């Protein structure tokens, strides 16, 4: 496995086609597109790293899988009153479906859905308390207290977050929000600004490899049915309007972020995190996807394989 990840990293580091770094969040535009990292954490916790696997990056929308997990833990199936479970087929920041569907976002991974989830997990608490809880959860899952929230990225996103603010106010107009919109947005922008390395992220995803129990931290995080459901949501909605393409090419549940990271899960086998900041046209990591495609091909880990 070390040879496989070394080969993939060497190729990805040298490729000239790197996609385009996100610029709509100014702080993300400062990231060097030359980076590439990969971390594979096997079910038993053994890990294989290559490239920039220990450099922190902005996990952005990958955080939405973890806030969904927290929301399910707090309110169980009541989560589905707030968000749906269908792929959107639209860009991650689209507002069009929200009106037709009366302010209930299609799924928890598009921006509107994740903002609704942020409102749900606050449960009347202040943003500071909710963020402390999210940070503690991420540190616990990754077994690493150095995970942090990058304030610069959060501020940068807040300053340019008119679209997300529109989504939030629009949803609030249907009477769905339980907390003030500005506080909910504060939580959302900050959890998107979590900075983690590929290795930390792959460790944090380990519970989805083995029916909800992370062998790495020896803890049951969710039950088997919930783990399966989170994986199915990642497969169908984890890459926005690129989810079909990702399933077709890689064949694994995965969640991407505009920081260029992707967390993918091969159930029963491994949790995998890749990072390359350049994105494709729908906002998913260009080389990250290619690296996962190669890894799935070399290992036969597609969920559709025998």
Binding residue for ligand GLN, selected from 36, 66, 92, 301, defined by CB under 6 A: 92
Binding residue for ligand GLN, selected from 39, 60, 69, 156, defined by CB under 6 A: 60
Task: Say whether residue 61 binds ligand GLN (CB under 6 A).
Answer: yes
| Nearest by Cα to 147 from 202, 195, 201, 207 | 195
214 phi/psi in degrees, rounded to 5: -80, 120
Q: Is 48 a catalytic residue?
A: no
Taking the complex as a whole, the smallest distance from the CB of residue 258 to ligand GLN amounts, in Å, to: 4
Q: Is 293 annotated as a binding residue?
A: no
Q: Is 258 a catalytic residue?
A: yes
Contact assessment for residue 249 and residue 228, using Cβ atoms and an 8 Å cutoff: no
Task: Say whether residue 261 binds ligand GLN (CB under 6 A).
Answer: no
Which residue is listed with tokens 């077709």? 248
Task: Say whether residue 111 binds ligand GLN (CB under 6 A).
Answer: yes
Task: Say whether residue 258 binds ligand GLN (CB under 6 A).
Answer: yes
Task: Say whether residue 192 binds ligand GLN (CB under 6 A).
Answer: yes
Q: Is 64 a catalytic residue?
A: yes
Task: Say whether residue 301 binds ligand GLN (CB under 6 A).
Answer: no
| Cα dihedral 60→229→273→200 (10° resolution) | 80
Q: Is 61 a catalytic residue?
A: yes
Which residues, listed in sequence order, are joined to residue 62 by a DSSP beta bridge? none
Enumerate residues 140-159 that contact ligand GLN by CB under 6 A.
Answer: 157
Which residue is listed with tokens 């995190």? 273
Taking the complex as a whole, the smallest distance from the CB of residue 230 to ligand GLN amounts, in Å, to: 18
Contact assessment for residue 252 and residue 303, using Cβ atoms and an 8 Å cutoff: yes
Measured CA to CA in angstroms, residue 104 lies from 66, 115, 121, 124, 236 at distances of: 20, 11, 16, 20, 18
Task: Say whether residue 94 binds ligand GLN (CB under 6 A).
Answer: no
CA atoms within 13 A on the CB side of 56: 12
Task: Say whether residue 275 binds ligand GLN (CB under 6 A).
Answer: no
Contact assessment for residue 296 and residue 251, using Cβ atoms and an 8 Å cutoff: yes
Taking the complex as a whole, the smallest distance from the CB of residue 293 to ligand GLN amounts, in Å, to: 20
Burial class (CB within 10 angstroms; exposed 0-12, middle 13-18, buried 19+) of 170: middle
Binding residue for ligand GLN, selected from 55, 93, 97, 215, defined by CB under 6 A: 93
Q: Is 24 a catalytic residue?
A: no
Q: How many residues bind ligand GLN (CB under 6 A)?
A: 11
Task: Say whether residue 160 binds ligand GLN (CB under 6 A).
Answer: no
Largest CA distance in the chain: 54
Catalytic residue ranges: 61, 64, 188, 240, 258
Residues in the annotated binding site for substrate? 61, 111, 157, 164, 188, 240, 258
Interacting residues with ligand GLN (CB under 6 A):
60-61, 92-93, 111, 157, 164, 192, 257-258, 283
């Amino acid at each position: 496995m070390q040879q496989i990840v070394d080969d993939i990293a060497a190729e990805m580091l040298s490729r000239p086609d790197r996609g385009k770094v996100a610029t709509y969040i100014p702080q993300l535009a400062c990231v060097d597109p030359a980076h590439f990292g990969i971390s594979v954490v096997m079910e038993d916790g053994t890990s294989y790293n290559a490239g920039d696997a220990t450099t922190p990056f902005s996990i952005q929308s990958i955080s939405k899988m973890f806030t969904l997990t927290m929301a399910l833990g707090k309110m169980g199936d009541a989560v589905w009153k707030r968000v749906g479970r269908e792929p959107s087929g639209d860009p991650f920041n689209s507002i069009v479906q929200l009106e037709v569907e009366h302010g209930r976002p299609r799924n928890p991974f598009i921006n509107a859905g994740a903002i609704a989830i942020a409102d749900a997990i606050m449960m009347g608490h202040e943003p500071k308390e909710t963020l402390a809880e999210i940070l503690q959860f991420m540190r616990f899952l990754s077994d690493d207290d150095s995970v942090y929230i990058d304030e610069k990225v959060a501020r940068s996103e807040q300053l340019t977050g008119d679209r997300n603010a529109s989504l939030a106010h629009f949803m609030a107009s249907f009477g769905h929000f339980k907390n003030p919109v500005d506080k909910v947005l504060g939580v959302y922008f900050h959890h998107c600004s979590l900075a983690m390395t590929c290795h930390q992220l792959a460790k944090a995803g380990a519970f989805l490899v083995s029916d909800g129990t992370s062998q790495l931290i020896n803890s049951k995080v969710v039950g088997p049915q919930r783990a399966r459901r989170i994986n199915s949501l990642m497969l169908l909605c984890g890459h926005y309007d690129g989810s079909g393409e990702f399933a077709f090419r890689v064949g694994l549940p995965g969640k991407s972020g505009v920081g260029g990271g992707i967390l993918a899960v091969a159930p029963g086998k491994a949790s995998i995190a890749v990072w390359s900041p350049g994105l494709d046209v729908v906002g998913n990591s260009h080389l990250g996807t290619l690296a996962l495609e190669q890894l799935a091909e070399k290992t036969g880990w597609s969920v559709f394989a025998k």
